[in-house]
Amino acid sequence: SLGDSRRVKRLITLSATLAAHTGKSVPQANQSAADIEAAYRFIRNDAISANAIAEAGFMATKQEALAFNTLLALEDTSSLNFSHKGVNDELGHITSYQSSRGFQAHSVLLYAPIEKQVVGLIEQTLWTRDIATKGISKEATKRPYQEKESFKWERASRQVAARLGSHMPHVISVCDREADLIEYLQYKLEHQQRFVVRSMISRHIEEADGKLHLYGRSLQSAGERQVDVVQKGGRKARTAICDVRFAPVTLKMPSNKEGQSTELYYVSCIERGRDDGLCWHLLTSEPVTTKEQALTTLGWYEKRWLIEDFHKSWKTGGTQVEALRLQSKSNLERMITILAFIAVRIQQLRHLGLQKELSGKQSCETLLGPKAWKLLWLKVEKSKPPKEAPSVHWAYLSLGKLAGWHDSKRTGIVGWERLWEGWFMLQTILEGYEL
């Protein structure tokens, strides 16, 4: 709802062009001077609300979501760094460094765990921190809960519930330790909203008159679970052998809060034989009375990496939002919003490509047109294309190969940069063929 049908048409044209030339700037993506000027007129139009653009995307996600009986609402917050000259003074602080300015973004990505499908963005809020509040975090406890930045978790849940309506009972919010807030947990329980939240602090509990994490470690192991720990920084990739434990628990209200104790279920996954190993303490609204239920809950939490993957693809690895050099906060917001939905589109391709058991059976014509996959075949396989379209998994690997990926680490995983580059190269080949 942009106030004018011509604006809607321009939004569709601009989004399609940027999606076909992912990671490229507006001038690089558009072929004519007239198209470039029209795109910038749209981006600079203060009568167009970034929220209206986002709402259209959320409603499209809702229509997709109604087809699934179980959905994970994967949530996380990330910062967008825009420290270039011109727009800097309009933005807020994002780190402890005075020169770093930008937005905060809280995103909620829907994922269907049974079908192993990334559905889409159902909520995203952008905001800037007041530069005058820099360094006053010690005073945070004196402010009302609704005025704190941590209220973002509850605000996101309210927005998702308003959009999904009667389908909300099918949704389980999956959050990391930052969401371990007693107010948030109580809100979710009071509104009968399902969740899995990783525990940040060892809260006081009524069981054994002790503390949550110590009590959890004292429970008898219900069995083991293997978790693949990915390589990150100086950490090497490994397979962690973990003990699984679970029990109902009752969280005591903190001494500085008012309210009743909170009854939840606890699930842990703690690596054997390593003091610095993998350690998940989870709190959930889901009844967990069997090992199978505990393993299901852990599997849901393990999918939380997808929201981090989305933020990476959005910010630096794909649509490269942080490379934007627009000179106005409102202009940035409009482009940031459009690129968020384009980032989801390519994440869906990458995630499906990784699911070999699914993508190996699905025709690549669900993602690439007949001309596109045949041209890709000619470039990569260097032979006559087959009569029937190959699989999505073939297309996923071939896009990587087109951009120079060789699977040197024998992982079978195409990185964001190579996937984006391959996609762009294929669009260029297709345009040349049609010309």
Confidence of residue 66 (pLDDT cuts 50, 70, 90): very high
The pLDDT tens digits of the residues spanning 9-23 come to 999 999 988 887 776
For residue 180, count other CB atoms closer than 10 A to its CB: 19
Superfamily (CATH H level) for 355-434: Transferase Inhibitor Protein From Tn5; Chain (1.10.740.10)
**Spacing of C-alpha 183 from chain mean position:** 24
Tokens at 421, concatenated: 């580059």
Average pLDDT over residues 83-88: 70
CA-based end-to-end distance of the chain: 35
Structure pTM? 0.88
Return d(Cα 45, Cα 60) in angstroms, integer.
24
Instruction: Give the alpha-carbon dihedral of 155, 158, 162, 167, to 10 degrees.
Output: 130
The pLDDT tens digits of the residues spanning 247-284 come to 999 999 988 888 888 999 999 999 998 888 899 999 99
- CA 74-119-308 angle, to 5 degrees, is 35
Q: Measuring CA to CA, how many Å separate 108 from each of 214, 251, 304?
A: 32, 26, 11
Helix (H, G, I), strand (E, B) or coil at 148: coil
**pLDDT, averaged across the chain:** 88
Half-sphere exposure of 367 (CA within 13 A, CB side): 26
What is the reported pLDDT for 376?
95
The verdict on domain 50-323 having CATH code 3.90.350.10 is yes
Confidence check: pLDDT of 313 > 80: yes
Which residues is 234 bridged to in the sheet? none
Rg (CA), the chain: 23
Residue 143: in which H helix or E strand, if any? none
Q: Are strands 194-198 and 171-175 parallel, antiparallel or unpaired?
A: parallel
Q: Measuring CA to CA, how many Å separate 245 from each of 177, 230, 301?
A: 19, 23, 15
Confidence check: pLDDT of 96 > 60: no
> Where do the structural domains in the chain lie, given as residue ranges?
5-43, 50-323, 355-434
Return d(Cα 389, Cα 87) in angstroms, integer.
47
What is the reported pLDDT for 317?
72
